[in-house]
Amino acid sequence: MSAMNSLRGDAQDGFGAARPKILIVDDRWENLLATEALLKPLGAAIATVDSGEKALDLVLKEDFAIVLLDVQMPVMDGFETARLMKTRPSMQNVPIIFVTAISKEDHFATEAAEIGAVDYIFKPINSDILKSKVKVYLDLYTQRQQILQLNANLRQSNEELERFAYVCSHDMQEPVRMMNAYAGLLAEGVAGQLDDTALGYAEYIRDNAVRVQTMIRDILGFSRVGREEVKLEPVDCQKVFDGIMPDFADVIAEKQAQVTGVDLPVIKTSPTLMRVLLQNLIGNALKFQDGARPPEITVSARREGKVWRFDVADNGIGIDPVFYERIFQVFQRLHSFDDYIGTGIGLSTCRKFVRLCGGDISVSSKPGEGSVFSFTLPEKAA
């Protein structure tokens, strides 16, 4: 019988990457035909060769999901063939199943294992067992290829995101800055020549330019999360809290708010993460108030098993439970921009960042009474 040096059953479609391929190596043509007929229903492309030399030649040209290799062959036996196959980079992770009629002595199976074979089957072959084992490795191969494809898609998406971030940080910011600047010059330079309606238009342009600038900044912040390595170090959370409080001094004074955070721990985490979380959660707690009472906001922390749990509690407008998940989705807002300014990105950034560090964030709330935003971070030795 002439050895087959190409794959059977798939010559017309060029063997799409999704279709796994099996290589059968045996010096007896009747064994090749029988094994091929047995495995054909599995839907894989099948190549058959009658010598180790031809098998080595074929693995240089094709990628295989699994190899079935006879041990007893002239010139080059199965063990030598397998050793040489494993020197090929493309064959390093390809499973090899030895099929043999030689003695069942343990040292043969040991030798096969040392070479890197995944199984050692004796003739006469139990067809059901062989078919089931080959199917398992075909399925694993298909899953691995799908993961590789997903990783490739993810890399492409990340590259596109980086390009988008570059456009945001350069090409988009400049025209928005100019809109803001010229609208201000118009309002201030010719104020006496414009009526109230025209001045209102100029102010409207300025407000929206600032809004777009804020959105661009938030999009950039969201896109950077996960693209840069998260460096963990001992972080004094009390110092982080105290350090960001001056950022809220004006709004605290305006609303006569009370913001407290006492005895916050030192934990091993990302200082950037802690600032992002506290800035966003305290900022939201101050923002989402109806003015009926002075804001009261408390930041606390406690250890729960292997994690630290932080709570940011407020007495604000609260959130309907139906919206608990929606508020953590990017660009999702529950209120109009005129009622409460913002881009709907802050909480999305918080969740993305905290999950990247092995924690999570959630909310509990009563409409009209207030909310408690809780986030957890793994306990690590500081």
Per the listing, tokens 């330019």 go with 209
Cα-trace Rg, the chain: 33
251 burial level (CB within 10 Å; 0-12, 13-18, 19+): middle
DSSP 338-356: TTS---S-HHHHHHHHHHH
Q: Where are the alpha helices (DSSP H) in 233-376?
A: 237-244, 249-255, 271-287, 346-356
Q: For the chain, what is the total number of helices (H) and then of strands (E)? A: 11, 12
* CA dist list (Å): 167 to 172, 216, 220, 222, 348: 6, 10, 10, 15, 21
CA 293 to chain centre: 42
- Start-to-end C-alpha separation, the chain: 70
pTM over 0.85: no
Q: Dihedral (C-alpha) 199, 204, 209, 211: value to the nearest 10 degrees?
A: 140
Per the listing, tokens 């918080």 go with 350
- Reading the chain (382 residues) residue by residue, the pLDDT tens digits are 444 454 555 533 443 455 889 999 998 898 899 999 999 999 899 999 999 899 998 988 888 999 998 888 888 888 888 888 888 888 888 888 888 776 555 556 667 767 767 777 777 778 888 888 899 888 888 888 888 888 888 777 767 766 766 666 666 667 777 777 777 777 676 666 767 777 777 777 777 777 666 666 656 665 565 555 667 789 999 999 998 899 899 899 999 999 999 889 999 888 877 888 898 899 889 988 888 889 999 999 999 988 999 999 999 888 878 877 777 765 444 444 444 444 456 788 788 878 877 889 899 988 888 899 999 988 764 4
Distance CA 282, CA 146 (A): 42
